[in-house]
Chains A and B, each alone.
Chain A
Amino acid sequence: MSQAHEQNDEHGSMQSYVVGFLLSLLFTFIPYIMVVNQTFTGTKLLVTIICFAMVQLVIQVTFFLHLGRGPKPKWNLYFFISTIGVVAFVVGGSIFIMNNLHYNMSPSDKLKKIANDEGIYQVGGKATGACQGQHANHKVTIKNSAVSPLQTDADKCDTLTIINEDDYEREIAFGVHPYHDVYAGETELVIRPGKSKTITLSEAGTFSFHDHLQPETSGKFTVSE
């Protein structure tokens, strides 16, 4: 049984403790100096010092705890690795979820910023207020299945009003038939005869629209920044 325990790596020698100690000192001082001198800042620095901590963890686990050098099966090592995994999940998962929750449940003043970030200028027919200030309104009329004007040029945050002057319902969809794209959060505008609907032009680019029930009735609009 003795198997000359002094030779068995599982318990370690003076050498391993000294090396581990010196390395740990190094990996403590380096991040300390980096933070004190602010060699760089923000997320980059945070990630760096956490990496240093992880390395020091490995150093201490190897040189002080001699993990993984015992006889097989190396249950200690496996348990340690799986625990680290769970810790990463617990901490990382919590941060991931809580950040997301806070982002989506911010007070109203922060909501404007979110709407701007995500290009949401209109919700349920009402402007979110992300588009501030005065903007122009462009009218497009559909009569006798003809769209006029065929091409509208507008600026971002302008509004576009589509008026249906025929006597049957129109289902205005964006994109080229038979494809329906989403524009400014809208897939389809159902416009009753004699009525109109308005959207905020929140995305820049060139887009087209058509009546899903009568695809030849179509038009285009270009939105510039």
Chain B
Amino acid sequence: MVGQAISHHEEEANDRVMFGFWVYLMTDLLMFAVLFAVYAVLHRNTVGGESGHELFSLPLALSGTLLLLTSSFTVGIAMIAARRGNKAQTLLWFGVTFALGLAFLCLELWEFSTLIGEGHTMQTNAFLSSFFVLLGTHGIHIIFGLLWMGITITYIMKRGLNSNMVRKLSMLSLFWHFLDIVWIFIFTIVYLGAFV
């Protein structure tokens, strides 16, 4: 691991915490399931307004997808470095992940503001309500992830890398991977689905 032996007690605790976090991620997935179900049922209710076909930009969605996918890859590299105890590499790759995540967030915020500027708000119709809430919930999770990443990076810079930190980083990277997985389905069902 990080080169130091940890006690059996601590290893058991680690295992428990990771499992508990995994179960939490499953509950988060179920919340998204409700939002997906609502989108699936309501996305045709535009009350005569524009549908996704007219409003979405596939190249924009693809760019966001690529940013997030790459960030999921880089967070994996960061974790390999962390488990080897390499503080510099860990900070570097988490930094790259952060930047990519931030870029994704900016892209999404730009898309939202454009739509809202054109008068397509969540109050317009059921389709837009479900679009904004689904993507918005994902976006809020991204914000939380970035916040978590920022605080953790700062902490590592000041206090260094130890086995406790590696466990926290494992949870963070799990969270980040999970957000990319949810995005696959948003990209497919919301964006690609609008043009089918």
Are chains A and B touching in the complex at the 8 Å CB cutoff? yes
In the bound complex, residues from chain A placing their C-beta under 8 Å from that of B33 are 86-87, 90-91
In the bound complex, residues from chain A placing their C-beta under 8 Å from that of B83 are 5-6, 11
B196:A53 contact, CB within 8 angstroms: no
- The distance from the CB of A121 to the nearest CB of chain B, in whole angstroms, is 30
From 165 to 196 in chain B, residues with beta carbon under 8 angstroms from any chain A beta carbon are: 174, 177, 180-181, 184-185, 187-189, 192-193, 195-196
Q: Interface stretch among A23-31, A139-147, A155-163?
A: A23-31
B184:A76 contact, CB within 8 angstroms: no
A80:B192 contact, CB within 8 angstroms: no
B19:A90 contact, CB within 8 angstroms: no
B184:A79 contact, CB within 8 angstroms: no
Which of these, A2, A11, A17, A80, contacts B77 with CB under 8 Å? A17
In the bound complex, residues from chain A placing their C-beta under 8 Å from that of B90 are none
From 5 to 31 in chain B, residues with beta carbon under 8 angstroms from any chain A beta carbon are: 5-8, 11, 19, 22-23, 26, 29-30
What residues make up the interface of B, taking CB atoms closer than 8 Å to A? 1, 5-8, 11, 19, 22-23, 26, 29-30, 33-34, 36-38, 40-41, 58, 62, 65-66, 69-70, 72-73, 76-77, 79-80, 83-84, 174, 177, 180-181, 184-185, 187-189, 192-193, 195-196
What residues make up the interface of A, taking CB atoms closer than 8 Å to B? 1-2, 5-6, 11-14, 17-18, 20-21, 24-25, 28, 31-32, 35-36, 38, 41-42, 45-46, 49-50, 52-53, 56-57, 60-61, 64-65, 75-76, 79-80, 83, 86-87, 90-91, 94-95, 98
A-B contact list, 19 entries, CB within 8 Å: A5-B1, A14-B77, A17-B73, A20-B73, A20-B76, A21-B70, A21-B72, A28-B65, A46-B196, A49-B188, A52-B188, A53-B184, A53-B187, A61-B181, A64-B72, A65-B174, A91-B40, A95-B37, A95-B41
